[in-house]
């Protein structure tokens, strides 16, 4: 077998809730205090994985994390009963579902030692995400334990914020060929934080042993962050030789496009002008937070949120695009509304790894039958609804813990993941 794209989706955890924790993420702020539906959320995520399997794609899975994160609370000198509400909410967050923020991945074809490198993201900018990395790293070390094929790195040290693959793109002639890796960082975001620090991006590129001639560091535009694009993957997505981007995504797009064309002459840049789709509509629809994938027959498809289909100006533009002669020929809308209400679209929910599946621990790969088993556990254990005041309820906490233990046991990962 050879290297291919595998998407690892973060299964939406039983504590999924709307606590309004992410400054600069407009959906998270808009839905703060709303009642969440963890069971429906996880089933939506599973349906998305099924839909991608049916497109002929290879699918992987990351498990939700143990919540509440007692180790983090203990390090803060408290526990779930005594913690102040904002700390309690951070300790209960199911935010690891957004696997695009789990790590940055450089496929073997790009690295000097011929291994696929992964650096777990430190996520230091947002308190509720800053404690994700130890449990993420534990899963990466199991899934990618084959040291001949993979190198898994510790997080970049604070204060250099690193949000993983959400700020990283790779362009190449085909997945197995050497590519150009693009690290997008922020410098300022107007009223909102820039979460990806250039020093973190540069460190990841060095650790991954990338060729400097095939690496670009590109600044995200302040107006994009200020409009709610807290990660680059909200305004741009790449796959093989295609870059699909909003015209206002980058600070100096002319220079970026010229550098990219010089490094990869075959690149095709599909730029959506603001006159066709405003930055604000792009962010509301999450048109760019799509999985841009190559299907087995060679055409490319965009796996988009149904929100994009529901906005006539967005859908009209997309239908015109796929009817043309461009490389993107298919639109595949998926309903991930529970995640979208926290600012996480189809692309946020997955980490792309280009590798040979034979080298990956099979417990992290899924087919329809395995998803049936997981869905049955979700239906039996995941809470139906969580209101913000429920987060202190000891019965809810016990249920969340039981859900996780049942899932981990079912996937035969208890021995590895339970300390």
Nearer to ligand SUG, 65 or 93 (CB): 93
Nearer to ligand SUG, 107 or 388 (CB): 388
User: Which residue, among 68, 12, 6, has the nearest Cα to 375 in the 3D structure?
Assistant: 12
47 alpha carbon, distance to own chain's centre: 17
44 binds ligand SUG (CB under 6 A): no
Among 15, 221, 291, 342, binds ligand SUG (CB under 6 A): 342
Q: Footprint of ligand SUG on residues 123-152 (CB under 6 A)? A: 126, 129
344 binds ligand SUG (CB under 6 A): yes
Among 44, 65, 96, 101, binds ligand SUG (CB under 6 A): 101
95 binds ligand SUG (CB under 6 A): yes
Among 66, 98, 160, 185, binds ligand SUG (CB under 6 A): 98
Whether residue 7 is annotated as binding a ligand: the answer is no
Q: How far apart are CA 290 and CA 287, in angstroms?
A: 6
Contact 361, 142 (CB under 8 A): yes
Positions of E strands within 199-327: 215-219, 236-239, 242-246, 268-272, 291-294, 300-305
Q: How many other C-beta atoms lie within 10 A of the C-beta of residue 174?
A: 14
Alpha-carbon dihedral angle through residues 79, 142, 128, 390, given to the nearest 10 degrees: -60
Burial grade of 198 (CB within 10 A; 0-12, 13-18, 19 or more): middle
With CB under 6 A as the contact rule, which of the stretches 21-29, 42-50, 206-214, 236-244 interacts with ligand SUG? 21-29
Question: Known catalytic residues?
Answer: 163, 231, 348
Q: How far apart are CA 181 and CA 171, in angstroms?
A: 7
246 binds ligand SUG (CB under 6 A): no
* Count of residues near ligand SUG by CB under 6 A: 23
Whether residue 20 is annotated as binding a ligand: the answer is yes
Nearer to ligand SUG, 117 or 129 (CB): 129
Pairing mode, strands 116-120 and 150-153: parallel
20 binds ligand SUG (CB under 6 A): yes
Q: How far apart are CA 383 and CA 393, in angstroms?
A: 12
Among 8, 183, 230, 404, binds ligand SUG (CB under 6 A): 230
382 binds ligand SUG (CB under 6 A): no
Q: Which two tokens stand for residue 325?
A: 């002669």
Binding residue numbers for substrate: 19-28, 101, 128-129, 195, 233, 342
- Name the residues that contact ligand SUG, by CB under 6 A: 18-22, 25, 28, 93, 95, 98, 100-101, 126, 129, 166, 230-231, 233-234, 342-344, 348
């Amino acid at each position: 077998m050879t290297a291919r794209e595998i998407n690892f989706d973060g299964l939406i955890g039983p504590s999924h809730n709307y606590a309004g924790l992410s400054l600069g993420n407009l959906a998270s702020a808009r839905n703060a205090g709303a009642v969440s539906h963890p069971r429906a959320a996880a089933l939506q995520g599973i349906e998305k994985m099924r839909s991608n399997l049916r497109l002929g794609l290879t699918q992987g899975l990351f498990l939700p994390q143990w919540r509440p994160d007692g180790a983090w609370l203990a390090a803060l000198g408290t526990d779930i009963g005594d913690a102040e509400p904002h700390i309690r909410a951070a300790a209960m967050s199911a935010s690891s579902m957004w696997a695009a923020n789990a790590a940055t991945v450089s496929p073997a074809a790009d690295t000097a030692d011929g291994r696929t490198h992964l650096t777990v993201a430190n996520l230091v900018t947002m308190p509720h995400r800053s404690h994700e990395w130890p449990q993420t790293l534990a899963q990466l070390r199991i899934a990618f334990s084959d040291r001949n094929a993979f190198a898994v790195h510790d997080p970049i040290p604070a204060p250099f914020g690193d949000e993983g693959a959400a700020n990283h793109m790779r362009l190449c002639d085909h997945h197995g060929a050497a590519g150009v890796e693009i690290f997008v960082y922020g410098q300022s975001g107007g009223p909102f934080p820039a979460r990806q620090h250039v020093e973190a991006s540069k460190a990841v590129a060095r650790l991954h042993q990338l060729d400097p001639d095939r690496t670009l560091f590109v600044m995200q535009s302040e107006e994009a962050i200020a409009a709610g694009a807290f990660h680059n993957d909200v305004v741009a997505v790449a796959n093989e030789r295609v870059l699909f981007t909003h015209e206002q995504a980058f600070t100096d797009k002319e220079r970026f496009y010229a550098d990219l064309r010089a490094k990869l002459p075959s690149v095709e840049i599909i730029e959506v002008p603001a006159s066709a789709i405003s930055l604000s509509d792009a962010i509301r629809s999450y048109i760019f937070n799509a999985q841009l994938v190559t299907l087995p027959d060679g055409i490319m498809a965009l796996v988009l949120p149904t929100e994009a289909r529901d906005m006539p100006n967005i859908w009209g533009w997309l239908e015109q695009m796929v009817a043309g002669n461009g490389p993107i020929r298919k639109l595949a809308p998926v309903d991930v509304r529970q995640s979208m209400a926290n600012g996480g679209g189809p692309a946020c929910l997955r980490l792309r790894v280009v590798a040979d599946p034979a080298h990956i621990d099979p417990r992290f790969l899924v087919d329809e039958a395995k998803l049936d088993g997981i869905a049955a556990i979700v239906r039996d254990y995941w809470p139906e609804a969580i209101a913000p005041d429920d987060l202190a309820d000891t019965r809810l906490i016990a249920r969340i813990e039981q859900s996780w233990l049942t899932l981990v046991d079912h996937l035969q990962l208890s021995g590895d993941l339970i300390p």
